[in-house]
Structure 1
Amino acid sequence: MKIFYGVQGTGNGHITRARVMAKELYAAGFDVTFQFTGRPPDKFFDMEIFNGYQHREGLTFNSDNGKVSYIKTVLQSKPICFIRDVKALDLSGYDLVISDFEPVTAWAAKVQKKNTLGIGHQYAFKHDIPRTRYEPLAELVMKFFAPVGQGVGLHWHHFDQPILPPIIETPELPSRIQGNKVVVYLPFEDQHAVIKHLLPFKDYQFHLYSPVPVASDHEHIVCNPLSRDGFQRDLYDCVGIISNAGFELASESLQLGKKILAKPLHAQMEQIANAAALEHLGYGRTMTEITPAVIEEWLHDKQAVQVSYPNIARVIVDWIKDGKPAMESEFIARVWDRVKVSPVDL
């Protein structure tokens, strides 16, 4: 089977999920072509697993100091370029088209009337999951940004809905953690302001990752450029993570039993809903603004949650091999029966 797989590359979460899916799709013998959009081609890193992927400009959301700007998003979009990319993408030679919320692939498939499968967290939002309020504009974006024929939604809990657990690597748990080591990943925030908020806590070692590296003159704050391997090493043995409320990183942190402090992007419905779900499930703490007082309270928290998720990428790949039968409630229940939630004393 030949598969065309489009991935939204604005954030790193979609790419992380695609890496796990790529491994299982290749192992199953599928011929897969990947396409990435949402950021300039020179801003992608550690992409070797995708075997000569395609790149198009696509669409992305504009953010400024931790807030999504819909006005800037519209003004900086290039609709003529987007339409040209959609028309230029020939999907005639593919048996299945998959979109992880990637609009060029989704709209090209829609125009060409191809069999389209959506896999990702965004497709869970068509179901009744925790959120703080109804936002008509955000709901329209969710519906029309990357439309698909069938969507497989992912979330940390089923909420009695037909959704699956996250697609993440399932590594062994660390044999020990560094009790004062904290990973900080707030790519949409002013990094100098983040460093300022971390300054008072000299008993902790902060490992800060950002798209544009900044300098730190403080021994307890280490600034790093984005690196998949380096980030994973630091995440593996840290005690917790301070991040925006992206889905994939929180999923990895839960799998490893890390405590979480999440600051959702303002006006970004998905991240606001993710923060609500973390609080609802008791899986992490959230903050609307970054302040030393909130950070201090979280640093002294000695409890976390470890959620053991099965290999959902393999579950989905096997389901595709079986012809994508209807996901009956029994199938969903069997998958969630394999999820184990355990308290962690730090």
Structure 2
Amino acid sequence: MKILYGVQATGNGHITRARAMLPALLQHGIDVDFLFSGRPKQQLFDMDMFGAYHWANGFTFATANGKVKKLTTITQLRPMQFYRDVRQLDLTSYDLVLTDFEPVSAWAAKRQGKLSVGLARQYALRFPLAEKQSATWLKMAVSGFAPAKLMLGVHWQPEFPGLLPPLLVPATQPERSPDNISGQSAFILVYLPFEQLSSVINWLKQCPSWQFKLYANVQALRTEDNVTILPLSRSRFPTDLQHCSGVICNSGFGLCSEALIAGKKLLIKPLQGQIEQAYNTYTLLKMGKAEQLNQFIPELLSNWLNRPPAAPYPMPNPSMAIARWLKQGCVTPVEQLAASIWQSQ
């Protein structure tokens, strides 16, 4: 079997799912080509495992100071380029298209009559998550942006037939690092890529008795008082996630999932105007697994820092079951596949 795996690269969560799925696909003898879109190619990093991947412009959203900028997003759209990319993508050599909410591969599959499977958090938004009813327009928007014949949504709770656990790269038990030599977690991990960096740093400085590791789009490591600012890294970030005593981040599904499983307390600042993060925030608050931050208020940070640690929230890894399901031709109903994965925990 040979598949094309389309990945929406706007956020790192989609790429994390692809990193988790690739070993399982290869283990089942599936030949995989990748297509990434939604982010300038030069901004992708640590992509060696994906080989000679394809890239397309696709669609993304513009942000500034923690908000989606709707007008800027609209003006940056390139519909004719998208149309050309869809028409030029030849799927003749592929048995199936797997799309993580990537629109070029999804629409090419629809246009060419190729079997397509959607595997993404966004496909879960068709369900009434945490008792919050999904709007009709949202269901249509999800299906319209990256259509797929079969849709596999991912979620944190097993109560919804057809939704699977998160796909994450398995974490290894960390060894003691130099800044964790006593065996006690000594810092808070921070990743707020949609916020103004200086605002985040100034906010963290208001709690000088705590140490923070802040990952950001910088070229080199530097330190400002109690804040260490580090360049983005797929090798170091997971290690720091395992060592930290808490995570401050936007409410993207991937990182929040990693923090839940690792047992890290969460302080989340949803990206305003981004519907998925609004649903993620609502669900996490309903589950009692996070506290919400809307503004950089020092008192809120101080109160959260002094909260007790969180307990791990284990979930089964669905990657091998999904790969086997794909290899067998996707004949098992999605609801049955999801139920079997959750029951394997």
Interval containing the TM-score (normalised by the shorter chain): over 0.9
Q: Name the amino acid aligned to 2:266.
A: I
Cα deviation, residue 307, structure 1: 1.6
Aligned to 2:38: 38
Cα deviation, residue 211, structure 1: 2.3
Q: Whole-Å Cα distance in 1 between the matches of residues 132 and 295 of structure 2?
A: 17
Residue 62 of structure 2 contacts residue 70 of structure 2 at CA under 8 Å; is this kept in 1? yes
SS at match of 2:158: coil
- 1:275 and 2:275 equivalent? no
**Residues 90-129 of structure 1, C-alpha deviation per residue, up to 9 Å, x if partnerless?**
0111100010000111111111111000001111111221
Q: Whole-Å Cα distance in 2 between the matches of residues 143 and 289 of structure 1?
A: 33
Cα deviation, residue 329, structure 1: 4.9
Cα deviation, residue 131, structure 1: 7.1
Q: Name the amino acid aligned to 1:279.
A: L
Q: Whole-Å Cα distance in 1 between the matches of residues 77 and 339 of structure 2?
A: 41
**Residues 57-114 of structure 1, C-alpha deviation per residue, up to 9 Å, x if partnerless?**
1111111111112221111111111111111100111100010000111111111111
Cα deviation, residue 136, structure 1: 6.8
Which residues of structure 1 form unaligned runs of 5+?
340-346
Q: Whole-Å Cα distance in 2 between the matches of residues 338 and 204 of structure 1?
A: 39
Aligned to 2:327: 321
Aligned to 2:230: 224
Aligned to 1:181: 187
Q: Whole-Å Cα distance in 1 between the matches of residues 66 and 219 of structure 2?
A: 17
Q: Which one of 206, 212, 215 corresponds to residue 200 of structure 1?
A: 206
Aligned to 1:249: 255
Q: Whole-Å Cα distance in 2 between the matches of residues 20 and 312 of structure 1?
A: 9
**Residues 289-308 of structure 1, C-alpha deviation per residue, up to 9 Å, x if partnerless?**
23212211110110313122
Residue 174 of structure 1 contacts residue 256 of structure 1 at CA under 8 Å; is this kept in 2? no
TM-score, normalised to structure 2, is 0.92
Distance verdict in 2 for CA 1:138–1:212, change over 3 Å: farther
Distance verdict in 2 for CA 1:329–1:33, change over 3 Å: closer
Cα deviation, residue 279, structure 1: 0.8
Aligned to 1:19: 19
Residue 60 of structure 1 contacts residue 73 of structure 1 at CA under 8 Å; is this kept in 2? yes
Aligned to 1:344: none
Paired residue total: 339
Distance verdict in 2 for CA 1:132–1:313, change over 3 Å: same
Aligned to 2:104: 104
Coordinate RMSD, CA, aligned: 2.0
Q: Whole-Å Cα distance in 2 between the matches of residues 329 and 26 of structure 1?
A: 25
Distance verdict in 2 for CA 1:68–1:214, change over 3 Å: farther
Please identify, of 330-339 and 47-56, the stretch whose mean Cα deviation from structure 2 is larger. 330-339
TM-score, normalised to structure 1, is 0.92
Q: Whole-Å Cα distance in 1 between the matches of residues 131 and 292 of structure 2?
A: 14
Distance verdict in 2 for CA 1:131–1:40, change over 3 Å: farther
1:114-133 correspondence runs (5 A): 114-130=114-130
Q: Percent identity?
A: 40
